[in-house]
């Protein structure tokens, strides 16, 4: 019994040490608006880390810095040890990204949308064909794989965008409010997919303003409010930090509002 707990702690230690996504004291301003003041957290391999916070707290800005389309004013961030500013190409190679709103090319089919990203990652033709077929089966895209993306439902678009993000088998997956605009069935399917991906050992970081979703899905939670990390850790650690008995109360205590509760 004792040995198992020790192994568990060593295991966690390992992941803490080799955290795959790290953000240290990030700050970012847009004009006079200070979107991020001090964001520090890490996300480990084989775990789902949820970035939780009300709208405008800085979740998207944090993710955008991590997937290298924004540069932080101060602070550093890295993915698999690659600095997102000084070594952004290597960082980008290690991540798959599902940004806010799927953003497919309407004149290309689902398959072509996925294939295009595969080519951009430099995957050779035969390997790419196999990989795209796998993803189409895995994400249940088959039915609309060869239709143009123009008329896709939000759920279909999200599936294709997720397949596109996974085409190069990234070790890290970043998802910005992935369940936004999805119906109940599509949300369920996406959650199951995220859990299965976690079990393959990759690092998943996703943002949400819905506390219940984060509570149901995440191994680790980072609560963000007004551009700062206000609490972080496993759900029971957060309850302990805030001195509340439920995660919901902890969230309210941490943020100072009831926004984000449904």
Partner 1 sequence: MKSRIGTVFRKEVLDNFRDRRSLMSALFFGPLFGPFLFAIMISFALDKHVSEVDEPLQLPVSGADNAPNLIAFLERSNTEIVKIEADLDSARIKVRDGEHDLALIIPAGFGENFSAGQPAVVRLVSDSANNNTAKDVRRARALLDAYQRRMGMLRLQARGLNPTTVMPVIVEDVDVSTPTGRSVILLGMMTYFVIFSMLMGGLYLAIDTTAGERERGSLEPLLTLPVPRSDLIIGKILATCVYMITSLAVTLLAFSVSLQFVPLEELGMTANFGPSVVIRIFLLMLPFALLGAALMTCVASFTKSYKEAQTYLTVVMLVPTLPILFAAIRTVKPDLSYMMVPSLSQHLIITDLMKAEPIPLAYPLVSMGSTLLLGLLLTALAARLYKREGILG
Q: Which residues bind partner 1 (CB under 8 A)?
A: 64, 67-71, 89-90, 92-93, 95, 97-108, 112, 116-117, 119-122, 148, 161, 164-165
User: With respect to partner 1, which residue has the nearer C-beta, 14 or 30?
Assistant: 30
As given in the structure block, the two tokens for residue 256 are 């100072």
Side-by-side strand order, sheet with 74-79: 82-83, 74-79, 21-30, 33-43, 228-233, 220-225, 48-52, 203-208, 172-176, 95-98
- Residue 136, strand partner residues: none
User: With respect to partner 1, which residue has the nearer C-beta, 148 or 234?
Assistant: 148
Cβ at position 253, least distance to partner 1 in Å: 34
Q: Is 6 helix (H, G, I), strand (E, B) or coil?
A: helix
Residue 101 is classified by DSSP as S
Cβ at position 125, least distance to partner 1 in Å: 12
User: With respect to partner 1, which residue has the nearer C-beta, 79 or 229?
Assistant: 79
Cβ at position 164, least distance to partner 1 in Å: 7
Cβ at position 166, least distance to partner 1 in Å: 12
Q: Residues in the chain, how many?
A: 262
User: With respect to partner 1, which residue has the nearer C-beta, 197 or 238?
Assistant: 197
Round the CA-based radius of gyration of the chain to a whole number and report it.
Answer: 19
């Amino acid at each position: 019994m004792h040995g198992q707990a020790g192994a568990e702690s060593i295991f966690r230690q390992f992941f803490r040490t080799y955290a795959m996504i790290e953000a240290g004291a990030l700050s970012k301003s847009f004009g006079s608006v200070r979107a991020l003041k001090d964001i520090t957290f890490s996300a480990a391999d084989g775990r789902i880390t949820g970035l939780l916070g009300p709208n405008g707290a800085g979740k998207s800005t944090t993710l955008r810095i991590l997937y290298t389309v924004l540069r932080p004013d101060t602070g550093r961030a890295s993915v698999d040890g690659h600095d997102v500013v000084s070594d952004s190409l290597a960082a980008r190679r290690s991540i798959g990204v599902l940004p806010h709103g799927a953003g497919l090319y309407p004149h290309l089919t689902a398959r072509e949308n996925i294939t295009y990203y595969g080519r951009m990652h430099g995957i050779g033709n035969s390997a790419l064909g196999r990989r795209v077929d796998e993803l189409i089966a895995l994400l249940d895209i088959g039915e609309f794989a060869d239709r143009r993306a123009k008329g896709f439902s939000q759920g279909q678009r999200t599936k294709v965008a997720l397949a596109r993000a996974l085409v190069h088998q990234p070790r890290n997956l970043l998802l910005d409010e992935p369940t936004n605009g999805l119906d109940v069935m599509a949300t369920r399917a996406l959650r199951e997919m995220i859990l299965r991906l976690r079990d393959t050992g990759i690092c998943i970081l996703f943002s949400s303003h819905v506390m219940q979703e984060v509570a149901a899905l995440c191994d680790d939670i980072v609560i963000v409010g007004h551009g700062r990390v206000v609490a972080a850790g496993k759900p029971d650690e957060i309850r302990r930090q805030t001195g509340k008995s439920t995660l919901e109360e902890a969230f309210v205590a941490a943020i100072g509002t009831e926004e984000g509760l449904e």
